[in-house]
Amino acid sequence: MALMLYDLAGADEGRRFSPYCWRIHLALKHKGLAFQTRPWRFTEKDVIAASGGTTVPVLEDAGRMVSDSWKIAETLDAQYPDRPALLAGGAGWQHARLTKHWVEATLFPLLLRMLVKDIHDRIHEKDKAYFRASREKRFGQTLEAFAAERDAVRDQFRLALTPLRRLVTEQPYVCGAAAGHADHIVFGAFQWARCASAYPVLTEQDAVAAWRERMLDLFDGYARGFPAG
Amino acid sequence: MALMLYDLAGADEGRRFSPYCWRIHLALKHKGLAFQTRPWRFTEKDVIAASGGTTVPVLEDAGRMVSDSWKIAETLDAQYPDRPALLAGGAGWQHARLTKHWVEATLFPLLLRMLVKDIHDRIHEKDKAYFRASREKRFGQTLEAFAAERDAVRDQFRLALTPLRRLVTEQPYVCGAAAGHADHIVFGAFQWARCASAYPVLTEQDAVAAWRERMLDLFDGYARGFPAG
Protein backbone atom coordinates (compact mmCIF):
# COMPACT_ATOMS: atom_id res chain seq x y z
CA MET A 1 0.00 0.00 0.00
CA ALA A 2 1.27 3.44 -0.91
CA LEU A 3 2.02 6.00 1.74
CA MET A 4 -1.03 8.13 2.51
CA LEU A 5 -0.77 11.77 3.58
CA TYR A 6 -3.83 13.22 5.29
CA ASP A 7 -3.74 16.77 4.04
CA LEU A 8 -5.75 19.82 5.08
CA ALA A 9 -8.13 20.89 2.29
CA GLY A 10 -10.50 23.76 1.67
CA ALA A 11 -14.07 23.70 0.36
CA ASP A 12 -12.43 22.81 -2.95
CA GLU A 13 -10.70 19.56 -2.09
CA GLY A 14 -7.79 20.44 -4.39
CA ARG A 15 -6.95 23.48 -2.25
CA ARG A 16 -4.19 22.33 0.11
CA PHE A 17 -2.91 25.09 2.34
CA SER A 18 -1.45 23.73 5.58
CA PRO A 19 2.14 24.95 6.14
CA TYR A 20 2.84 21.82 8.19
CA CYS A 21 1.44 19.48 5.53
CA TRP A 22 3.55 21.19 2.86
CA ARG A 23 6.69 20.22 4.75
CA ILE A 24 5.68 16.59 4.29
CA HIS A 25 4.64 16.93 0.66
CA LEU A 26 8.17 18.08 -0.11
CA ALA A 27 9.80 15.69 2.36
CA LEU A 28 8.18 12.76 0.54
CA LYS A 29 9.24 14.13 -2.86
CA HIS A 30 12.77 14.72 -1.50
CA LYS A 31 12.98 11.10 -0.45
CA GLY A 32 11.57 9.96 -3.77
CA LEU A 33 8.74 8.05 -2.14
CA ALA A 34 5.45 7.43 -3.92
CA PHE A 35 2.43 8.67 -1.95
CA GLN A 36 -1.19 9.61 -2.21
CA THR A 37 -2.96 12.40 -0.37
CA ARG A 38 -6.36 12.35 1.21
CA PRO A 39 -8.18 15.66 1.71
CA TRP A 40 -9.00 16.28 5.35
CA ARG A 41 -11.07 18.99 6.99
CA PHE A 42 -10.55 20.59 10.41
CA THR A 43 -13.57 18.87 11.94
CA GLU A 44 -12.71 15.34 10.82
CA LYS A 45 -10.88 14.51 14.03
CA ASP A 46 -12.24 10.96 14.04
CA VAL A 47 -10.55 10.10 10.73
CA ILE A 48 -7.08 10.59 12.23
CA ALA A 49 -7.81 9.48 15.80
CA ALA A 50 -5.55 6.44 15.40
CA SER A 51 -2.57 8.82 15.03
CA GLY A 52 -3.06 9.99 18.60
CA GLY A 53 -3.29 13.58 17.36
CA THR A 54 -6.03 15.96 16.28
CA THR A 55 -4.29 17.78 13.44
CA VAL A 56 -2.66 17.01 10.13
CA PRO A 57 -0.25 16.15 8.64
CA VAL A 58 -0.78 12.53 9.45
CA LEU A 59 1.19 10.00 7.45
CA GLU A 60 -0.09 6.45 7.17
CA ASP A 61 2.53 3.86 6.29
CA ALA A 62 1.69 0.15 6.27
CA GLY A 63 -1.35 0.76 8.46
CA ARG A 64 0.49 2.85 11.05
CA MET A 65 -0.49 6.53 11.44
CA VAL A 66 2.09 9.09 12.54
CA SER A 67 1.13 12.64 13.53
CA ASP A 68 3.24 15.83 13.79
CA SER A 69 5.34 17.10 10.89
CA TRP A 70 8.68 16.89 12.74
CA LYS A 71 8.01 13.37 13.97
CA ILE A 72 6.97 12.33 10.47
CA ALA A 73 10.26 13.63 9.04
CA GLU A 74 12.23 11.71 11.69
CA THR A 75 10.17 8.58 11.01
CA LEU A 76 10.76 8.83 7.26
CA ASP A 77 14.53 9.05 7.83
CA ALA A 78 14.38 6.06 10.17
CA GLN A 79 12.14 3.94 7.90
CA TYR A 80 13.87 4.81 4.63
CA PRO A 81 17.57 5.24 5.47
CA ASP A 82 18.60 4.39 1.90
CA ARG A 83 16.78 7.47 0.58
CA PRO A 84 18.12 11.07 0.74
CA ALA A 85 18.10 12.26 4.35
CA LEU A 86 15.85 15.00 5.68
CA LEU A 87 17.41 15.56 9.10
CA ALA A 88 20.08 12.89 9.46
CA GLY A 89 21.00 13.85 13.01
CA GLY A 90 23.77 16.25 13.96
CA ALA A 91 24.04 19.69 12.45
CA GLY A 92 21.44 19.05 9.73
CA TRP A 93 18.92 18.28 12.43
CA GLN A 94 19.91 21.44 14.33
CA HIS A 95 19.74 23.61 11.22
CA ALA A 96 16.21 22.41 10.45
CA ARG A 97 15.14 22.71 14.08
CA LEU A 98 16.32 26.32 14.38
CA THR A 99 14.57 27.06 11.09
CA LYS A 100 11.36 25.46 12.39
CA HIS A 101 11.36 27.58 15.53
CA TRP A 102 12.17 30.72 13.61
CA VAL A 103 9.39 30.12 11.08
CA GLU A 104 6.81 29.24 13.72
CA ALA A 105 7.66 31.94 16.25
CA THR A 106 8.45 34.80 13.88
CA LEU A 107 6.67 34.29 10.57
CA PHE A 108 3.51 32.35 11.44
CA PRO A 109 1.96 34.97 13.77
CA LEU A 110 2.35 37.64 11.08
CA LEU A 111 1.16 35.39 8.26
CA LEU A 112 -1.85 34.34 10.28
CA ARG A 113 -3.00 37.95 10.60
CA MET A 114 -2.66 38.40 6.85
CA LEU A 115 -4.33 35.12 5.90
CA VAL A 116 -6.93 34.22 8.48
CA LYS A 117 -9.89 35.90 6.80
CA ASP A 118 -9.09 34.34 3.43
CA ILE A 119 -8.64 30.94 5.07
CA HIS A 120 -12.03 31.30 6.70
CA ASP A 121 -13.60 32.18 3.34
CA ARG A 122 -12.04 29.16 1.59
CA ILE A 123 -12.57 26.34 4.06
CA HIS A 124 -15.43 23.85 3.90
CA GLU A 125 -18.81 25.00 5.21
CA LYS A 126 -18.77 22.30 7.88
CA ASP A 127 -15.48 23.70 9.27
CA LYS A 128 -16.46 27.36 9.50
CA ALA A 129 -18.12 27.51 12.90
CA TYR A 130 -15.33 25.44 14.48
CA PHE A 131 -12.62 27.49 12.84
CA ARG A 132 -14.09 30.82 13.87
CA ALA A 133 -14.83 29.78 17.45
CA SER A 134 -11.43 28.15 18.08
CA ARG A 135 -9.46 31.02 16.54
CA GLU A 136 -11.45 33.79 18.17
CA LYS A 137 -10.92 32.10 21.52
CA ARG A 138 -7.17 31.87 20.86
CA PHE A 139 -6.85 35.45 19.60
CA GLY A 140 -9.20 36.98 22.18
CA GLN A 141 -10.91 38.97 19.42
CA THR A 142 -12.98 38.49 16.27
CA LEU A 143 -11.30 37.21 13.13
CA GLU A 144 -12.08 40.53 11.50
CA ALA A 145 -10.38 42.55 14.25
CA PHE A 146 -7.39 40.19 14.30
CA ALA A 147 -7.01 40.51 10.53
CA ALA A 148 -7.23 44.31 10.37
CA GLU A 149 -4.44 46.46 8.92
CA ARG A 150 -2.77 43.70 7.00
CA ASP A 151 -0.66 46.03 4.91
CA ALA A 152 1.09 47.17 8.10
CA VAL A 153 1.53 43.56 9.16
CA ARG A 154 3.03 42.83 5.74
CA ASP A 155 5.65 45.51 6.32
CA GLN A 156 6.62 43.78 9.57
CA PHE A 157 6.66 40.42 7.79
CA ARG A 158 9.01 41.64 5.08
CA LEU A 159 11.33 43.09 7.70
CA ALA A 160 11.25 39.83 9.67
CA LEU A 161 12.42 38.00 6.54
CA THR A 162 15.80 39.76 6.59
CA PRO A 163 17.82 36.75 7.84
CA LEU A 164 16.26 34.50 5.17
CA ARG A 165 16.77 37.16 2.52
CA ARG A 166 20.47 37.40 3.34
CA LEU A 167 20.86 33.64 3.28
CA VAL A 168 19.19 33.10 -0.10
CA THR A 169 21.08 36.03 -1.57
CA GLU A 170 24.33 34.25 -0.76
CA GLN A 171 23.28 30.78 -1.89
CA PRO A 172 20.32 29.27 -3.79
CA TYR A 173 18.68 27.47 -0.87
CA VAL A 174 18.41 27.67 2.91
CA CYS A 175 20.42 24.43 2.99
CA GLY A 176 23.06 25.64 0.53
CA ALA A 177 23.51 24.45 -3.05
CA ALA A 178 20.52 22.10 -2.91
CA ALA A 179 17.20 22.29 -1.08
CA GLY A 180 16.79 20.33 2.14
CA HIS A 181 14.28 20.02 4.93
CA ALA A 182 14.96 23.52 6.28
CA ASP A 183 13.84 24.77 2.85
CA HIS A 184 10.72 22.60 3.02
CA ILE A 185 9.89 24.12 6.40
CA VAL A 186 10.24 27.72 5.23
CA PHE A 187 8.49 27.00 1.96
CA GLY A 188 5.50 25.61 3.86
CA ALA A 189 4.92 29.11 5.21
CA PHE A 190 4.86 30.61 1.73
CA GLN A 191 2.74 27.84 0.27
CA TRP A 192 0.26 28.48 3.08
CA ALA A 193 0.00 32.08 1.84
CA ARG A 194 -0.08 31.09 -1.82
CA CYS A 195 -2.75 28.39 -1.54
CA ALA A 196 -5.03 30.15 0.95
CA SER A 197 -5.00 33.69 -0.38
CA ALA A 198 -4.44 35.95 -3.38
CA TYR A 199 -2.80 38.57 -1.16
CA PRO A 200 0.81 39.10 -2.31
CA VAL A 201 3.04 38.74 0.73
CA LEU A 202 6.26 39.44 -1.21
CA THR A 203 7.27 41.84 -3.95
CA GLU A 204 8.47 40.15 -7.12
CA GLN A 205 11.86 41.87 -6.71
CA ASP A 206 12.52 40.26 -3.34
CA ALA A 207 15.33 37.67 -3.26
CA VAL A 208 12.97 35.62 -1.11
CA ALA A 209 10.49 35.57 -4.01
CA ALA A 210 13.24 34.28 -6.32
CA TRP A 211 13.97 31.50 -3.82
CA ARG A 212 10.24 30.72 -3.63
CA GLU A 213 10.20 30.36 -7.43
CA ARG A 214 13.10 27.88 -7.20
CA MET A 215 11.12 25.91 -4.63
CA LEU A 216 8.02 25.94 -6.84
CA ASP A 217 10.18 24.54 -9.66
CA LEU A 218 11.41 21.54 -7.66
CA PHE A 219 10.23 18.05 -8.60
CA ASP A 220 8.92 19.15 -12.01
CA GLY A 221 6.95 22.04 -10.55
CA TYR A 222 5.15 19.85 -8.02
CA ALA A 223 4.07 22.60 -5.60
CA ARG A 224 3.21 24.98 -8.43
CA GLY A 225 0.61 22.52 -9.67
CA PHE A 226 -1.74 23.07 -6.72
CA PRO A 227 -4.60 25.61 -6.82
CA ALA A 228 -3.50 29.01 -5.51
CA GLY A 229 -5.00 32.41 -4.81
CA MET B 1 54.47 33.57 18.14
CA ALA B 2 51.09 33.19 19.84
CA LEU B 3 47.91 34.09 17.99
CA MET B 4 46.95 37.73 18.61
CA LEU B 5 43.33 38.88 18.72
CA TYR B 6 42.79 42.61 18.24
CA ASP B 7 39.82 43.20 20.48
CA LEU B 8 37.58 46.22 20.92
CA ALA B 9 38.12 47.82 24.33
CA GLY B 10 36.54 50.63 26.32
CA ALA B 11 38.20 53.42 28.27
CA ASP B 12 39.11 50.64 30.72
CA GLU B 13 41.20 48.39 28.52
CA GLY B 14 39.83 45.32 30.29
CA ARG B 15 36.32 46.12 29.10
CA ARG B 16 35.82 44.02 25.96
CA PHE B 17 32.37 44.37 24.49
CA SER B 18 32.35 43.67 20.74
CA PRO B 19 29.81 40.96 19.82
CA TYR B 20 31.92 40.03 16.81
CA CYS B 21 35.13 39.77 18.84
CA TRP B 22 33.40 37.56 21.39
CA ARG B 23 32.69 35.02 18.66
CA ILE B 24 36.43 34.71 18.16
CA HIS B 25 37.31 34.63 21.86
CA LEU B 26 35.13 31.52 22.17
CA ALA B 27 36.17 30.12 18.80
CA LEU B 28 39.80 30.15 19.92
CA LYS B 29 38.92 28.55 23.26
CA HIS B 30 36.77 25.96 21.43
CA LYS B 31 39.74 25.01 19.27
CA GLY B 32 42.01 24.93 22.30
CA LEU B 33 44.43 27.43 20.80
CA ALA B 34 46.61 29.68 22.95
CA PHE B 35 46.16 33.36 22.17
CA GLN B 36 46.71 36.84 23.47
CA THR B 37 44.44 39.83 23.04
CA ARG B 38 45.40 43.37 22.30
CA PRO B 39 42.98 46.15 23.25
CA TRP B 40 41.91 48.20 20.25
CA ARG B 41 39.87 51.37 20.02
CA PHE B 42 37.49 52.45 17.23
CA THR B 43 39.82 55.14 15.93
CA GLU B 44 42.93 52.96 15.69
CA LYS B 45 42.30 52.06 12.06
CA ASP B 46 46.02 52.26 11.23
CA VAL B 47 46.89 49.45 13.66
CA ILE B 48 44.83 46.92 11.69
CA ALA B 49 45.31 48.36 8.20
CA ALA B 50 47.31 45.29 7.14
CA SER B 51 44.15 43.20 7.58
CA GLY B 52 42.48 45.07 4.74
CA GLY B 53 39.61 45.97 7.07
CA THR B 54 38.73 48.82 9.41
CA THR B 55 37.06 46.90 12.22
CA VAL B 56 37.86 44.18 14.70
CA PRO B 57 38.07 41.29 15.29
CA VAL B 58 41.37 40.95 13.51
CA LEU B 59 43.35 37.81 14.15
CA GLU B 60 47.11 37.82 13.59
CA ASP B 61 48.66 34.42 13.01
CA ALA B 62 52.33 34.07 12.05
CA GLY B 63 52.41 37.67 10.87
CA ARG B 64 49.28 37.44 8.73
CA MET B 65 46.24 39.52 9.74
CA VAL B 66 42.73 38.30 8.96
CA SER B 67 39.68 40.52 9.37
CA ASP B 68 35.95 39.64 9.68
CA SER B 69 34.68 37.21 12.28
CA TRP B 70 33.21 34.71 9.80
CA LYS B 71 36.38 34.67 7.71
CA ILE B 72 38.46 34.21 10.85
CA ALA B 73 36.39 31.16 11.86
CA GLU B 74 36.83 29.65 8.39
CA THR B 75 40.54 30.38 8.49
CA LEU B 76 40.93 28.75 11.91
CA ASP B 77 39.22 25.59 10.65
CA ALA B 78 41.46 25.56 7.57
CA GLN B 79 44.68 26.26 9.49
CA TYR B 80 43.98 23.94 12.42
CA PRO B 81 42.05 20.99 10.97
CA ASP B 82 43.22 18.69 13.78
CA ARG B 83 41.39 20.85 16.35
CA PRO B 84 37.61 20.73 17.04
CA ALA B 85 35.76 22.22 14.08
CA LEU B 86 33.83 25.49 14.19
CA LEU B 87 31.99 25.29 10.87
CA ALA B 88 33.33 22.20 9.13
CA GLY B 89 31.36 22.76 5.94
CA GLY B 90 27.96 21.27 5.21
CA ALA B 91 25.07 21.56 7.62
CA GLY B 92 27.21 22.88 10.49
CA TRP B 93 28.26 25.78 8.31
CA GLN B 94 24.63 26.40 7.31
CA HIS B 95 23.41 26.24 10.90
CA ALA B 96 25.96 28.82 12.02
CA ARG B 97 25.30 31.01 8.98
CA LEU B 98 21.53 31.11 9.57
CA THR B 99 22.22 31.88 13.22
CA LYS B 100 24.57 34.71 12.23
CA HIS B 101 21.98 36.32 9.96
CA TRP B 102 19.24 35.93 12.55
CA VAL B 103 21.38 37.47 15.29
CA GLU B 104 22.56 40.35 13.13
CA ALA B 105 19.25 41.18 11.45
CA THR B 106 16.89 40.58 14.35
CA LEU B 107 18.73 41.00 17.66
CA PHE B 108 21.45 43.54 16.93
CA PRO B 109 19.15 46.44 15.93
CA LEU B 110 17.18 46.04 19.16
CA LEU B 111 20.27 45.58 21.33
CA LEU B 112 21.89 48.62 19.79
CA ARG B 113 18.99 50.81 20.85
CA MET B 114 19.27 49.48 24.39
CA LEU B 115 23.06 49.72 24.62
CA VAL B 116 24.28 52.60 22.51
CA LYS B 117 24.22 55.25 25.22
CA ASP B 118 26.08 53.02 27.69
CA ILE B 119 28.62 52.12 25.01
CA HIS B 120 29.20 55.79 24.36
CA ASP B 121 29.71 56.42 28.06
CA ARG B 122 32.23 53.57 28.41
CA ILE B 123 34.45 53.98 25.35
CA HIS B 124 37.78 55.78 25.33
CA GLU B 125 37.72 59.58 25.21
CA LYS B 126 39.54 59.58 21.90
CA ASP B 127 36.75 57.46 20.34
CA LYS B 128 33.75 59.49 21.48
CA ALA B 129 33.50 62.09 18.74
CA TYR B 130 34.00 59.46 16.02
CA PHE B 131 31.50 57.10 17.62
CA ARG B 132 28.81 59.74 18.01
CA ALA B 133 29.24 61.20 14.53
CA SER B 134 29.33 57.85 12.72
CA ARG B 135 26.34 56.43 14.60
CA GLU B 136 24.22 59.57 14.38
CA LYS B 137 24.82 59.63 10.65
CA ARG B 138 23.78 55.98 10.37
CA PHE B 139 20.71 56.36 12.60
CA GLY B 140 19.64 59.72 11.19
CA GLN B 141 19.08 61.00 14.73
CA THR B 142 20.95 61.75 17.93
CA LEU B 143 22.19 58.88 20.10
CA GLU B 144 19.83 60.05 22.80
CA ALA B 145 16.78 59.97 20.49
CA PHE B 146 17.79 56.59 19.09
CA ALA B 147 18.19 55.17 22.60
CA ALA B 148 14.86 56.44 23.96
CA GLU B 149 12.21 54.10 25.39
CA ARG B 150 14.51 51.20 25.94
CA ASP B 151 12.06 49.33 28.15
CA ALA B 152 9.69 49.08 25.16
CA VAL B 153 12.57 47.93 22.97
CA ARG B 154 13.42 45.30 25.56
CA ASP B 155 9.88 43.90 25.31
CA GLN B 156 10.39 43.53 21.55
CA PHE B 157 13.79 41.95 22.15
CA ARG B 158 12.42 39.35 24.53
CA LEU B 159 9.67 38.49 22.04
CA ALA B 160 12.23 38.21 19.23
CA LEU B 161 14.12 35.64 21.31
CA THR B 162 11.25 33.13 21.06
CA PRO B 163 12.97 30.80 18.54
CA LEU B 164 16.14 30.71 20.64
CA ARG B 165 14.12 30.22 23.83
CA ARG B 166 12.37 27.20 22.34
CA LEU B 167 15.64 25.72 21.14
CA VAL B 168 17.49 26.02 24.46
CA THR B 169 14.45 24.72 26.31
CA GLU B 170 14.69 21.51 24.30
CA GLN B 171 18.45 21.08 24.50
CA PRO B 172 21.32 22.71 26.43
CA TYR B 173 22.93 24.58 23.52
CA VAL B 174 22.03 26.05 20.15
CA CYS B 175 24.20 23.32 18.63
CA GLY B 176 22.67 20.52 20.72
CA ALA B 177 24.34 18.64 23.55
CA ALA B 178 27.55 20.70 23.35
CA ALA B 179 28.21 24.32 22.44
CA GLY B 180 29.41 25.11 18.92
CA HIS B 181 30.03 28.16 16.79
CA ALA B 182 26.32 28.99 16.49
CA ASP B 183 26.36 29.30 20.28
CA HIS B 184 29.43 31.54 20.13
CA ILE B 185 27.62 33.79 17.66
CA VAL B 186 24.49 34.17 19.78
CA PHE B 187 26.51 34.52 22.96
CA GLY B 188 28.46 37.40 21.42
CA ALA B 189 25.21 39.37 21.38
CA PHE B 190 24.64 38.80 25.09
CA GLN B 191 28.25 39.44 26.03
CA TRP B 192 27.98 42.74 24.18
CA ALA B 193 25.09 43.65 26.48
CA ARG B 194 26.81 42.29 29.57
CA CYS B 195 30.17 44.00 29.07
CA ALA B 196 28.88 47.34 27.79
CA SER B 197 25.99 47.96 30.13
CA ALA B 198 24.37 47.17 33.47
CA TYR B 199 20.92 47.16 31.88
CA PRO B 200 19.35 43.71 32.33
CA VAL B 201 18.18 42.54 28.92
CA LEU B 202 16.78 39.22 30.26
CA THR B 203 14.84 38.18 33.32
CA GLU B 204 16.60 35.60 35.46
CA GLN B 205 13.68 33.18 34.89
CA ASP B 206 14.19 33.16 31.12
CA ALA B 207 15.46 29.88 29.64
CA VAL B 208 17.74 32.07 27.52
CA ALA B 209 19.34 33.39 30.73
CA ALA B 210 19.97 29.81 31.85
CA TRP B 211 21.67 29.10 28.52
CA ARG B 212 23.71 32.31 28.93
CA GLU B 213 24.88 31.05 32.33
CA ARG B 214 25.99 27.78 30.71
CA MET B 215 27.95 29.77 28.15
CA LEU B 216 29.55 31.90 30.87
CA ASP B 217 30.64 28.66 32.59
CA LEU B 218 32.46 27.28 29.54
CA PHE B 219 36.25 27.02 29.57
CA ASP B 220 36.49 27.47 33.35
CA GLY B 221 34.30 30.57 33.33
CA TYR B 222 36.38 32.33 30.70
CA ALA B 223 33.77 34.86 29.54
CA ARG B 224 32.55 35.46 33.09
CA GLY B 225 36.00 36.71 34.01
CA PHE B 226 35.74 39.90 31.99
CA PRO B 227 34.53 43.20 33.48
CA ALA B 228 30.78 43.63 33.09
CA GLY B 229 28.11 46.20 33.83
Q: Average pLDDT of each block of 10 consecutive residues along chain A (229 residues)? A: 93 98 98 98 97 97 96 97 93 96 98 98 98 98 96 98 98 97 98 98 98 98 97
Tell me if residue B158 falls in helix, strand or coil: helix
pLDDT band at B148 (very low <50, low <70, confident <90, very high): very high
C-alpha separations of A92 from A69, A109, A148, A166, A183 in Å: 16, 25, 38, 19, 12
Residue to test with chain A: of B70, B86, B93, B94, most A Cβ within 10 A: B94
Residues of B in contact with A174 (CB under 8 A): 94, 98
Residue A89: the pLDDT is 81
Contact in structure between A16 and A226 (CB atoms under 8 Å):
yes
Q: Which of A208, A196, A48 is nearest to A123 (CA)?
A: A196
What residues pair up with B36 in beta bridges, in sequence order? Answer: B4
Q: Which residue of A has its CA nearest to B177?
A: A90
pLDDT band at B89 (very low <50, low <70, confident <90, very high): confident
Comparing CB atoms, the residue among B91, B102, B167 nearest residue A90 is B91
Q: How far is B39 from chain A (nearest CA, A)?
A: 31
Tell me if residue B87 falls in helix, strand or coil: coil
Residues of B in contact with A160 (CB under 8 A): 106
Q: What is the DSSP string of chain A?
A: --EEEEEEB-SSTT-B--HHHHHHHHHHHHTT--EEEEEE-TT-GGGGGGGT-SSS-EEEETTEEEESHHHHHHHHHHH-TTSPPSS-SHHHHHHHHHHHHHIIIIIHHHHHHHHHHHHHHHS-HHHHHHHHHHHHHHHTS-HHHHT--HHHHHHHHHHHTHHHHHHHHHSSBTTBSS--HHHHHHHHHHHHHHHH-----S-TTSHHHHHHHHHHHHHHHTGGGS---
Contact in structure between B212 and B173 (CB atoms under 8 Å):
no
Average pLDDT of the segment spanning B8-33: 98
C-alpha separations of A32 from A81, A178, A183, B53, B168 in Å: 12, 15, 16, 47, 33
Comparing CB atoms, the residue among B94, B166, B167 nearest residue A176 is B94
Residues of B in contact with A175 (CB under 8 A): 91, 94
Comparing CB atoms, the residue among A91, A102, A162 nearest residue B91 is A91
CB contact under 8 A, B163 and A90: no
Residues of B in contact with A92 (CB under 8 A): 90-91
* A–B interface: beta-carbon pairs under 8 A: 79
Confidence check: pLDDT of B77 > 90 = yes
Q: What are phi and psi of B5, to 5 degrees?
A: -100, 115
Mean pLDDT of chain B: 97
- Taking the C-alpha atoms of residue A23 and residue A20, their distance in angstroms, rounded to an integer, is 5
Confidence check: pLDDT of B1 > 90 = no
Confidence check: pLDDT of B210 > 90 = yes
Confidence check: pLDDT of B106 > 90 = yes
Residue B215: the pLDDT is 98
CB contact under 8 A, A163 and B105: yes
pLDDT band at B88 (very low <50, low <70, confident <90, very high): confident
Residues of B in contact with A88 (CB under 8 A): 91
CB contact under 8 A, A94 and B166: no
Question: Is the confidence metric ipTM above 0.85 for this complex?
Answer: yes
Query: CA Rg, chain B, in Å?
Result: 17
CA dihedral over B67, B73, B77, B83, signed as positive or negative:
positive
Query: Pairing state of beta strands A35-40 and A58-61?
Result: unpaired
